[in-house]
Amino acid sequence: GENVEQHPSTLSVQEGDSAVIKCTYSDSASNYFPWYKQELGKRPQLIIDIRSNVGEKKDQRIAVTLNKTAKHFSLHITETQPEDSAVYFCAASTRNNFNKFYFGSGTKLNVKP
């Protein structure tokens, strides 16, 4: 089955700096890659996603890039703010697997004011 690896496990940045979280996947059939943000004690929230027919997607301060050849995708957060502090999870799924998502192990982002 699919294996998703996520790095780094923890990331500390100064407010206003950029943060980058990287994920790799193993199954070339994976074609959907969402990112979730989970604040302490809360549910994971979908913040951005990308499908395999697109190389990059942006939504205000966050962006995701996908390199299908290398089988990796990344989350970029610019102008970080303290409220961006949370655990971020990447995931991958294939169309034929009916919403079976494989998650990365998570990155704890700490934005220092």
Q: Binding residue for other proteins (CB under 8 A) from 5, 10, 17, 100?
A: 100
Q: Binding residue for other proteins (CB under 8 A) from 7, 27, 68, 103?
A: 103
| Interaction between residue 27 and other proteins (CB under 8 A) | no
Smaller CB separation from other proteins, 95 or 112: 95
| Interaction between residue 32 and other proteins (CB under 8 A) | yes
Task: Record the tokens describing residue 47, joined without a space.
Answer: 């913040």
Residues 49-88: x where in contact with other proteins by CB under 8 A, - otherwise, as a string: x-x-------------------------------------
Beta-strand (E) ranges in the chain?
4-7, 10-14, 19-25, 32-38, 45-51, 56-59, 62-67, 72-77, 86-92, 102-103, 107-112
Task: Record the tokens describing residue 57, joined without a space.
Answer: 């997607």
Q: Give the Cα separation of 80 and 83 in Å (integer).
A: 8
Smaller CB separation from other proteins, 101 or 110: 101
Backbone phi and psi for residue 83, each to the nearest 5 degrees, phi listed first: -70, -5
Starting at the edge strand that comes first in sequence, how are the strands of the sheet with 56-59 ordered? 4-7, 19-25, 72-77, 62-67, 56-59
| Interaction between residue 46 and other proteins (CB under 8 A) | yes
Q: Give the binding site for other proteins (CB under 8 A).
A: 32, 34, 36, 42-46, 49, 51, 89, 91, 93, 95, 97-106
